[in-house]
């Protein structure tokens, strides 16, 4: 039988104690790391859920087109000028391509006019959407360039697909003539629609008690017209700033029209996910019935129209006048040396190279 010394017992006990303490420390560290990872994982999950769940009140994309696809979105119309006159010869898509007044490049649709020097009836484009719009629609159009030339009458507007004008209304989103630099926005209706005079920052074009009357018959077809105070909302300055995005928000309560210059487009619109609850600031125009009328009673089944008329009632009517009220300091007669609009358009096609639309995209939401 061997004897065990006290010193050996103490040594073995010390080794055992050190081993227990080290094992316990490793266990606690492992548990702490697991707990930390779980907390971090939960924090990420909450953040992810917030981002993906943040769009509960969005407009739903119905249709969109960009570049050459835009031609599939529209019908190309060969029509006469109607009561407003003009000498544009609107042509179909095939003739537009053949005449080089329709084309696409870098995801942008080009819609121009014939620029040969002499042309008695100069070719141009008028297109109308295949889809129709009604209350509950958000229309978003991204434009890089619009026609800017004496004699040109460009417009982007909505109008009833069927029926006698203005029984089912018209909404002018972009309109102007010659070398204007301020956009005109208007609504034309049958008798009975008077608009509220607040809630927008454009200025009335008419004076007096008829300025809020949208009845076309009572206002010599002018309806209730507004002029954007921005000196870069139309024509050359608009083009120099690479355009921007026009939005028409149509609800039963009102028709709001917004314009966002290229460097001021709201994030939700730029991302393609516009929110119904977004605050985009005051619209350029707000056509809301002063008597609480539903917009659907005066504006029905509209199509989007984009065209460039040449001469006609409006550009001819102001040809010999400066239009300082719309940002044009000199008359077109003085700028071109031609005494009439029609003489200029027929004989100076080489001066119409800026009379074109460059459209990046058209999107419709509901």
Please state, in angstroms and rounded to a whole number, the distance separating the CA atoms of residues 126 and 90: 6
Q: Looking up tokens 């009102």, which residue turns up?
A: 254
> Can you say whether the dihedral through the CA atoms of 73, 127, 227, 239 is positive or negative?
positive
Active site residue 64: no
Q: Looking up tokens 């040396």, which residue turns up?
A: 337
- By the 8 A CB rule, do 227 and 325 touch? yes
Q: Which of 94, 120, 167, 170 is catalytic?
A: 170
Please state, in angstroms and rounded to a whole number, the distance separating the CA atoms of residues 58 and 326: 36
Active site residue 31: no
Q: How far is CA 318 from the centre of its chain?
A: 28
Burial of residue 115, with CB atoms counted within 10 A of its CB: 0-12 exposed, 13-18 middle, 19 or more buried? buried
- By the 8 A CB rule, do 224 and 215 touch? no
Please state, in angstroms and rounded to a whole number, the distance separating the CA atoms of residues 42 and 285: 47
Q: Which of 175, 236, 316, 354 is catalytic?
A: 175
CB half-sphere exposure, 311, CA atoms < 13 A: 22
Cα-based torsion angle of the residue sequence 355, 206, 86, 103 in order, rounded to the nearest 10 degrees: 30
> Can you say whether the dihedral through the CA atoms of 354, 247, 281, 223 is positive or negative?
positive
First to last CA, the chain: 98
Q: How far is CA 264 from CA 142, 199, 258, in A?
A: 13, 20, 12
- By the 8 A CB rule, do 70 and 93 touch? no
Please state, in angstroms and rounded to a whole number, the distance separating the CA atoms of residues 113 and 97: 11
Is the peptide bond preceding residue 142 cis, with omega within 30 degrees of 0? no
Q: Looking up tokens 């434009």, which residue turns up?
A: 143
Question: 311: closest CA among 152, 182, 84, 116?
Answer: 152
Query: Among all residues, which ones are annotated catalytic?
Result: 170, 175
């Amino acid at each position: 039988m061997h004897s065990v010394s006290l010193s050996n017992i103490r040594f073995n006990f010390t080794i055992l104690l050190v081993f227990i303490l080290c094992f316990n420390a490793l266990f606690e560290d492992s548990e702490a790391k697991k707990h930390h990872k779980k907390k971090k994982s939960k924090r990420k999950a909450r953040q992810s859920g917030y981002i993906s769940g943040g769009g509960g009140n969005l407009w739903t994309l119905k249709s969109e087109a960009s570049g050459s696809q835009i031609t599939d979105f529209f019908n190309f119309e060969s029509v006469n000028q109607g009561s407003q006159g003009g000498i544009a010869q609107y042509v179909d898509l095939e003739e537009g391509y053949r005449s080089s007044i329709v084309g696409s490049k870098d995801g942008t649709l080009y819609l121009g006019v014939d620029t040969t020097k002499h042309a008695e009836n100069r070719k141009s484009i008028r297109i109308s959407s295949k889809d129709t719009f009604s209350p509950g629609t958000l229309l978003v159009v991204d434009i890089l360039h619009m026609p800017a030339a004496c004699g040109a009458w460009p417009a982007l507007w909505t109008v009833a697909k069927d029926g006698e004008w203005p029984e089912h209304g018209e909404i002018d989103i972009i309109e102007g003539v010659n070398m204007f630099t301020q956009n005109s926005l208007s609504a034309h209706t049958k008798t009975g629609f008077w608009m509220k005079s607040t809630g927008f920052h454009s200025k009335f074009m008419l004076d007096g008690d008829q300025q809020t009357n949208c009845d076309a018959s009572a206002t010599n077809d002018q309806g209730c017209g507004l002029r954007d105070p921005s000196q870069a909302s139309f024509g050359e300055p608009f083009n120099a700033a690479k355009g921007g995005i026009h939005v028409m928000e149509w609800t039963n309560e009102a028709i709001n029209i917004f314009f966002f210059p290229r460097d001021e487009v709201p994030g939700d619109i730029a991302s393609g996910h516009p929110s119904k609850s977004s605050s985009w600031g005051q619209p350029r125009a707000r056509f809301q019935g002063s008597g609480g009328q539903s917009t659907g009673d005066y504006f029905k089944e509209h199509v989007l129209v984009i065209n460039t008329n040449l001469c006609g009632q409006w550009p001819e009517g102001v040809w010999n006048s400066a239009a300082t009220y719309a940002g044009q300091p000199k008359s077109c007669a003085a700028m071109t040396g031609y005494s009439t609009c029609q003489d200029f358009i027929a004989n100076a096609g080489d001066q119409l190279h800026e009379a074109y639309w460059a459209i990046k995209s058209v999107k419709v939401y509901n």
